[in-house]
Structure 1
Amino acid sequence: MPTWMKLNMMNGTSPIMEQLIMFHDFTMMIISLITTMVMIMLYLNLKNKFSNRKLMENQMIETIWTITPAMILIVIALPSLKILYLMEEINNPSITIKTMGHQWFWTYQYSDKKKLELESYMTKKKNKIRLMEVDNRIAIPYNTQTRMIISSSDVIHSWTIPSIGMKMDAVPGRLNQISFSIKKPGIFMGQCSEICGTNHSFMPITLESINMKNFIKWMEKN
């Protein structure tokens, strides 16, 4: 794979992330076209040796360069508003998980099983992924709508997993919620994205997506 293809967003594993990647590519195409057009116009102006000293105004040109940027902004804004609406929508979640941020670890509580509460610390084992693996992974079935209620017990944290396109602040005394669905099995990692103290970079997030059958077994085991 060429280097320029690797310098991009992470592969989308949720419908929201796929929409974000498509919107990113769409806006980058528009920006590239605008940049190319401006560079061509600058080049032609530098090479142009003619001047019109009697030209005072041109209503047509002024109308075009006023309406065109407005139309481009509308074209960009419409899909952006659609994605914002999809990210905020809560579609009858099958599973609800309460997430609490602490200095410097996460706790997860499954609403379907009140006694199931996990404390997730960064593991120090050398054979694991450095600074990203945890001792207790959070498990979620794929192709299942999941709601996560997020808060904090001390300072502001941020629960973030880039590959599923989710980022939500954990604010003390406030409950924030997000809804997402993962499309395939796998292990997805993230980190706290809010500077929350000395060990801010040592509170990773590891989510494991499994099928419903294995998820039920996991719930019964714990």
Structure 2
Amino acid sequence: MSMYGGVGLQDTISYEGSGVELFHDFALCVMVFILCVVVGMFYSITVGGGSVVSGYSGSNYVEFIWTTLPVVVLLGLSFPSLALMYLSEGPPGGSPDLTFKAVGHQWYWSYEGGDFLDFGVDSYMAPLGDLSEGSFRLLEVDNSLVLPFGAKVRLVTSSTDVIHCWALPSLAMKVDCVPGRLNTLSVSSVSPGSFYGQCSEICGINHSFMPIHVEFVDWGTFLAYVAQ
């Protein structure tokens, strides 16, 4: 957990996730700046007797400033936001190395792949009795999604019943899984590791019991996993 652990942000493991974290910091600074301006104006009008703004009553200059400044702020927020949305929906610089499909069910996940061999696994939450010391309650699964780190992976999501949501905080990613529709996002990691997420859509009585577990491994381990 990073310095943002108190507000729930995790250390990111991808370039897109790092961009989301930087955009969060930038947007927070903009919000603090706006708050300071509003509080300062409120103090000037109520406590200070309006000494700051009284000289500009009916001024075209002041009206121009308070019209153009919000436009500049919104443009400053929109450009990096749109860039991050573009990067998260597809890998830059060409086609992906691998394609996987994540399908939401009530209440488990299934993963499919067909780049090397056609295979599919169902991922259920591990029962409490199967957990070992050091395992995470309500987050461990019987079959994880295994991906090679450093590769550009395209993840296609859908659902067979209701709307689910595939979310992995370490990648700063969250995408809805809608029945009859395919949504795509780019998944990549700069380091190996084991990372957890959960369905972030209220999809029914067992919504809290369909965790997501992704393991990023080297290519040799990944190929051995696919061969099984």
How does the TM-score come out when normalised to structure 1?
0.90
Which amino acid in the other structure matches residue 87 of structure 1?
S
Inter-CA distance 5–89: structure 2 relative to 1 (3 Å threshold): closer
Inter-CA distance 5–150: structure 2 relative to 1 (3 Å threshold): closer
How big is the shift at 1:89? 2.6
Contact 2:2 2:10 in 1 (8 A): no
Match of 1:133 in 2: 140
Match of 2:65 in 1: 64
How big is the shift at 1:4? 7.0
Deviations 1:17-74 (A, max 9, x none): 1111111100111111121122222223333247899986211111111111111111
How big is the shift at 1:115? 4.2
Match of 1:97 in 2: 100
How big is the shift at 1:137? 0.9
CA distance in 1, matches of 2:97, 2:158: 20
Which amino acid in the other structure matches residue 108 of structure 1?
Y
Inter-CA distance 130–165: structure 2 relative to 1 (3 Å threshold): same
Please state whether the residue corresponding to 2:80 is helix, strand or coil. Answer: helix
Instruction: Map 1:7-156; keep pairs closer than 5 Å.
Output: 7-49=7-49, 57-90=58-91, 91-124=94-127, 125-127=130-132, 128-156=135-163
Please state whether the residue corresponding to 2:208 is helix, strand or coil. Answer: helix
Please state whether the residue corresponding to 1:134 is helix, strand or coil. Answer: coil
How does the TM-score come out when normalised to structure 2?
0.88
How big is the shift at 1:6? 3.1
Please state whether the residue corresponding to 1:98 is helix, strand or coil. Answer: strand
Which amino acid in the other structure matches residue 72 of structure 1?
V
- Residues 1:213 and 2:213 are matched in the alignment: no
Inter-CA distance 120–53: structure 2 relative to 1 (3 Å threshold): closer
Inter-CA distance 50–134: structure 2 relative to 1 (3 Å threshold): closer
Matched residue pairs, number?
A: 221
Gaps spanning 5+ residues in structure 2: where? none
Inter-CA distance 47–206: structure 2 relative to 1 (3 Å threshold): same
Inter-CA distance 174–55: structure 2 relative to 1 (3 Å threshold): closer
Please state whether the residue corresponding to 1:174 is helix, strand or coil. Answer: coil
Please state whether the residue corresponding to 2:121 is helix, strand or coil. Answer: strand
* Aligned-pair identity (%): 38
93-102 vs 112-121, greater mean Cα deviation: 112-121
Which amino acid in the other structure matches residue 218 of structure 2?
N
Match of 1:187 in 2: 194
Contact 1:98 1:111 in 2 (8 A): no
Which amino acid in the other structure matches residue 97 of structure 1?
F
Please state whether the residue corresponding to 2:43 is helix, strand or coil. Answer: helix
Please state whether the residue corresponding to 2:138 is helix, strand or coil. Answer: coil
Contact 2:56 2:62 in 1 (8 A): no
Deviations 1:170-207 (A, max 9, x none): 11222222112111111111111111111111010000
Inter-CA distance 62–153: structure 2 relative to 1 (3 Å threshold): same
Contact 2:156 2:185 in 1 (8 A): yes
CA distance in 1, matches of 2:4, 2:146: 34
Inter-CA distance 50–176: structure 2 relative to 1 (3 Å threshold): closer
Gaps spanning 5+ residues in structure 1: where? none
Please state whether the residue corresponding to 2:110 is helix, strand or coil. Answer: strand
